[in-house]
Amino acid sequence: MEIQMIMEDKDFTIDERYQELLQTILDFGKDKKDRTGTGTKSIFGYTIRWDMTQGFPLLTTKKMPMKTIATELKWFLKGDTNIKYLVDNGCNIWNGDAYKRYADIECNPPHDHSLSQKEFIDNIKNSDKFAEKWGELGPIYGKQWRDWTEYYVEKFNGGNPIIVERTKDQIANLIEELKTNPDSRRLMVSAWNVGDLSTMTLPPCHYGFQVYTRELTYDERNLLYFKKFGETVEDTDAKWELNTTDAFEDDLNKSGIPKRAISLMFNMRSVDVPLGLPFNIASYGLLLEIIAKEVNMIPDELIANLGDTHIYKNQIDGIKEQMTREPMKLPKLLFKDHLNDFDSIIDILRVNDFILDGYESHPSIKMPLSN
């Protein structure tokens, strides 16, 4: 039977789209072996689209750790690849990967640990020297986003090429291109550096993203103006005919009303739907909000392209519980006013510089992590 993808429909909440994906895997997923030995039910190729104007895409059918999500994203944007920043800020999602690397290298035979994972993390937290040696995860997301290494031929010397190494800041390049050439079809960031895969603790699951912008219509900008200055939709109706002049368009520009909308599409090779995907959707939703604010555009659409999309068999009970829960109203993501004083926020943004307005959810559901 053909697998149906959820397409754009404002009657669906992000929770309902997510639950539809879970049901699709339960109904049509193929039994597969995996590197963890747990076993999965899996489908290949699925797309979820979300209209960001309908609310911030944070699941409500289970409580989501937004601070943890934001801390990891900040870590990526810092270009960091050492877990110490995460540990110091209460984000523990990469602890197991760092500990596994320590156990495989330091202990003989592997997994005959000289330190427990708790002791290992305590050492990361309390010893800069230990963290420098054992907290490093290799050239993963932050390195690729902010410091991609490339090699090129600078010149020839007696017929022999002189190879030069240089780095590129993909995020900075993306922001600059959005400001100067927003219709480009090259607005992309990749974490999949084939030459670095062998030295990464874990090859990237979400391996790249692309953004797309469009011009806002006059009516869209007009509505943004009235929302910004406290007017209601009803108030705008009476004024609509009065505000269709070139003079009012000048007012829109002087008031800083965005001229463009921006969408983001992220791609995943491997998708742990119960644990990873809700996290990834919220993380890229936050990244889209940050980029949009950085370049004075409005977030438009978030799109997830999913490759091997699976649930682990030991997660099925938790999934079925979550699917019985009624979705709640989605929150809005707001940036604190002091950020308006800066021309650029992407490198100074802190985890507590935004507010989730109106987030309510069902309790969290503990599901096994297979790694």
Q: Is 205 a catalytic residue?
A: yes
Residues 227, 231, 235, 239, CA torsion sign: negative
Strand 30-32, strand 40-51: pairing: antiparallel
Among candidate residues 205, 223, 345, 365, the one labeled active-site is: 205
349: amino acid identity, one letter: L
Tell me the CA distances in angstroms from 15 to 21, 41, 131, 214, one per residue in order: 10, 20, 38, 27
Tokens of 102: 């320590």
Q: Is 340 exposed, middle or buried (0-12, 13-18, 19+ CB in 10 A)?
A: exposed
Q: Residue 121 and residue 90: Cα distance in Å, rounded?
A: 11
Q: Residue 38 and residue 265: Cα distance in Å, rounded?
A: 30
H/E stretch holding 1:
none
Tokens of 235: 């108030």
Q: Residue 50 and residue 141: Cα distance in Å, rounded?
A: 24
For 195, other C-beta atoms within 10 Å of its C-beta total 10
Q: Residue 226 and residue 238: Cα distance in Å, rounded?
A: 12
> Token match 């995943």: residue?
268
Q: Could you tell me how many residues make up the chain?
A: 371
Tell me the CA distances in angstroms from 325 to 15, 84, 256, 318, one per residue in order: 10, 36, 41, 12
The single-letter DSSP state of residue 3 is: P
Residues 345, 346, 348, 350, CA torsion sign: positive
Contact 286, 67 (CB under 8 A): no
Which residues belong to the active site?
A: 205
